[in-house]
Structures are given as structure tokens and as C-alpha cells.
């Protein structure tokens, strides 16, 4: 069980391979997360671009730390895995 109590959010699209990899990684490690589909949710898309400055997905926010893309070593460190 991960030691993180931080909120985990992922902004993704249904066709994004790296988004699926990130979500699978979270599931494998029992990490609860909130997913936002920015392909269909325009408000969340604007929010993602406002926070990250770009349109690329996935955008993953763990606590106050924003990560663009599926950076497994960085995610593991942030999650305490």
C-alpha cells in the first residue's frame, strides 16, 4: 500500500497510450486517482492547459507537483513507492 495521502489527478484522453500506462501503473500500486477526460470535458481541458501550459497528455498532478507524460521514476518517488 502506498504511503501517499496526496490527491492524485490525471488529465487524459481515451486514445492516449501513455495515459493508459499511467492509469494501469496506479491500479497496480493501489493508488486512488481522479481522472478527467479532456477529449470530452472542455472545462477540464482549459484547466489542464492553464496548469501545464500545453495540450499534451497525460498531465498528472500528485499533491502540488505537476508531471507531463508518464515518467514512472518520478511518479514512484512522488507516491513513495
In a domain, 29, yes or no: yes
Contact (Cβ atoms closer than 8 angstroms) between residue 8 and residue 62: yes
- The 10s digit of each residue's pLDDT in 22-80 is 999 999 999 999 999 999 999 999 999 999 999 999 999 999 999 999 999 999 999 99
Can you give the pTM of this predicted structure? 0.91
Q: Which CATH number do you get for residue 16?
A: 3.40.30.10
In a domain, 32, yes or no: yes
- Residue 2: per-residue pLDDT: 45
In a domain, 81, yes or no: no
Q: What is the mean pLDDT of the chain?
A: 94
Q: What is the CA radius of gyration of the chain?
A: 12
In a domain, 2, yes or no: no
- Domain coverage including residue 53: 8-76
As a whole number of angstroms, the distance between CA 22 and CA 75 comes to 9
Name the domain count of the chain: 1
In a domain, 26, yes or no: yes
In a domain, 25, yes or no: yes
- Residue 43: per-residue pLDDT: 98
Amino acid at each position: 500500500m502506498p504511503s501517499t495521502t496526496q490527491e492524485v489527478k490525471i488529465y487524459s484522453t481515451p486514445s492516449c497510450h501513455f495515459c493508459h500506462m499511467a492509469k494501469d501503473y496506479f491500479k497496480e500500486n493501489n493508488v486512488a486517482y481522479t481522472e478527467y477526460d479532456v477529449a470530452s470535458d472542455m472545462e477540464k481541458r482549459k484547466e489542464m492547459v492553464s496548469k501545464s501550459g500545453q495540450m499534451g497528455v497525460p498531465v498528472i498532478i500528485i499533491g502540488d507537483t505537476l508531471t507531463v507524460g508518464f515518467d514512472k521514476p518520478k511518479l514512484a518517488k512522488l507516491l513513495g513507492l
